[in-house]
Structure 1
Amino acid sequence: MNQSKLFTGSAYGTRKKMAFTFTGPVDLQAGTNTISLLSVAMGLPNIGVHFENWNVGVGQVALYGLDRGKRDLSRQMWSYKVGLKGESLNLVSPDKVSSVEWTKVSAVAQTRQQMRWYKAYFDAPGGDEPLALDMGSMGKGQIWINGQTIGRYWTVYAQGNCSTCAYAGTYRTPTCEAGCSKPTQQWYHVPRSWLQPTRNLIVVLEELGGDTSRIALVKRTTTSICANAFEHHPSVANYKIDATGTQKMAHEARVHLRCAMGQAISAIKFASFGTPMGTCGSFKQGRCHAESSHAIVEKMCVGKKSCRIEVTNRYFGADPCPNVLKKLSVEAICLPQQ
């Protein structure tokens, strides 16, 4: 905040509350003080009324608590710089990572510091199972492995109504949230083709503060896969020839199941064409259910690496509930092929 570059604190806004106030002690000295603000934006809006007029970044800046009460600093002579020093130095590159001096961080003494670069080296796990980074202990930032970007991570926590799920009426953000008090996304896929047998470089830019000692690279073997699709809501487009010989596009709603490499569908744990409820792992039959659902899906999918089932009445016999929008929910078990 002043010329000694003392970090004062941070705050953030939301989509609904763009302006926000940082409340906390500010260390000012007599004479000239330099204020530095780092603005992190999630991107520009691309939809909505007059979205081209929405502002992103630092706007009005005011300082409270001085002798005059409130002082508007918006018209001060501000300088502006885009990007971080670590980006300009290309710290994510294996060739450039040694261009700066890194401080060794003890796992015991580590504090949840904001806006920090971290690096580490690791060997590739054996086998051919899919790999993922467990980022549940971190806040928000970006990841690179051997110079390749894994992408952004942001382990926000669901706090909505996780007990029921109904999309009727106006959609709200907390509608149909799952896993309350757990990260909305914890696992981030790491392609094995990016790895070498030893000394792989991982670089993390952490914005909010996290515990890097708990980041883990784990093998992910999926045993259950799920899919949902509503009738009359096409998921694929095919071309068909009508009676006159004219080629026409025919849209079809389908459920598509696919196991991981080296696996095949061994059993159908749940299948219901009608009004099933719940989410993957906790599906339940609704009031409307076609009795042939399980047998049809089992016949179409078991023993195969992948399968597709049309979501139509003709696949499941008579309409189980006329004049009701139906969907097909399926949970299948994938196991290694023998």
Structure 2
Amino acid sequence: MGLGKGTAWVNGNNIGRYWPAFISSENGCDAKCNYRGAYHAEKCLTNCGEPTQRWYHVPRSFLNAEGDNTLVLFEEMGGNPSLVSFQTTRVGSVCANVYEKTIIELSCDRKPISAIKFASFGNPDGNCGSFEKGTCESSKNTADILTQECVGKEKCSIDVSTEKFGAPDCSGAPRRLAVEAIC
């Protein structure tokens, strides 16, 4: 925010053009959108009155781990670079692979859980980062249950039970919950 139009570089690497001063039109915006009927250019517009882009990704490889980093902005429309800010985010994941009749706690070390990458209740295969569904799977959508319970929270506790996830028939084999959550 605060910039007009231009190009940005980080440590000599071009991260692209920016143009947040280009504001999308307010015409045609409506809280309720209905796609039925004839097409017209203003139908179902979103983010009206907002900049067309606000966030820009800077690859971690462009940053110096030790020492200073340099941001160069070539501003074409008179923006205010003092309003520019950087946020660093470390994306990681946490995993659990436990038998039923236990309680697990997923925690992202004081960061919110942002998504459930994988979830399966039955006989899942693999390890953290490479889980796969097995031959026995709950009929309930395990990922949806965990998303509702955990996403947006720093930690969540889940009772691994057939009451919560359903009762897949695994031919007498013990059932397990495998989950990978993105922090």
Q: Which has the higher contact order (CA 8 A, sep 6+)?
A: 2
TM-score band by shorter chain is 0.3 to 0.5
What TM-score comes out, normalization by structure 1 length?
0.27
- TM-score normalised by L of structure 2: 0.48
Instruction: Give the structure with higher Rg (CA).
Output: 1
